[in-house]
Amino acid sequence: MDNKNKKIVTAEDLLLRIEVLEKRLEKLDPKSKNSLPGKSLQIADIKQNLLQWSEKFPGVNVKEELEKMLDWLSANNKRKKDYKAFFRNWLRKASTGLNKNASLEEKIKYIFGCPESNCQTIESPYKDMYYFCSTCKKQKIVLDKNR
Ligand SMILES: [Zn+2]
């Protein structure tokens, strides 16, 4: 269990670093973002190039992931400037098994915490989890449910 967790943290770290680098690139070249076409054109472009996307992410069903991403965007009412960049990130996460947004059961998140203090909260897709707070010496309880 411990080893598994360590691996996940490392992969997440890498993804975070990539995102930071991409944001830096964005800052260096902000013009290209502002001249991006609207959502439907960008999505159409992705759909036309699914073959290339699947070559870049060979272990991933890119068509299915695109559907999942579009579902997730509309379910969460999210708009993006650059859908290609978002899709690239989405596929990266899918290829490493880190895509927490993708599966249906994980859409509901239970937030565990300490009701009497501002301790760190933990999110879980499952409500029957046991989290012990070492500060309060108490079990954390479900404070909220996110959809
Ligand atoms: Zn606590």
Cα-to-centroid distance, 112 and ligand 1 (Å): 10
Cα-to-centroid distance, 122 and ligand 1 (Å): 11
Cα-to-centroid distance, 111 and ligand 1 (Å): 13
Over residues 47-101, the pLDDT tens digits come to 999 999 999 998 889 999 999 999 999 988 888 889 999 999 999 888 876 665 5
Cα-to-centroid distance, 117 and ligand 1 (Å): 6
Mean pLDDT throughout 16-39?
A: 77
Cα-to-centroid distance, 91 and ligand 1 (Å): 36
Cα-to-centroid distance, 108 and ligand 1 (Å): 23
Cα-to-centroid distance, 125 and ligand 1 (Å): 20
Over residues 99-144, the pLDDT tens digits come to 655 554 445 678 999 999 989 999 887 888 899 999 999 999 999 8
Answer whether 0.75 is exceeded by the pTM: no
Tokens of residue 67, six digits: 């559907």
DSSP the chain: -HHHHHHHHHHHHHHHHHHHHHHHHHHH-HHHHHT---HHHHHHHHHHTHHHHHHHSTTS-HHHHHHHHHHHHHHTT---S-HHHHHHHHHHHHHTT--TTSSGGGGSEEEEE-TTS-PPPEEES-SS---EETTTTEE-EEEEEE-
Cα-to-centroid distance, 146 and ligand 1 (Å): 20
Cα-to-centroid distance, 115 and ligand 1 (Å): 8
The backbone region for 137, taken as left when phi is positive above 0, alpha when psi lies in -120 to 50, beta otherwise, is left
User: What's the pLDDT score for residue 32?
Assistant: 60
Cα-to-centroid distance, 119 and ligand 1 (Å): 5
User: What's the pLDDT score for residue 13?
Assistant: 80
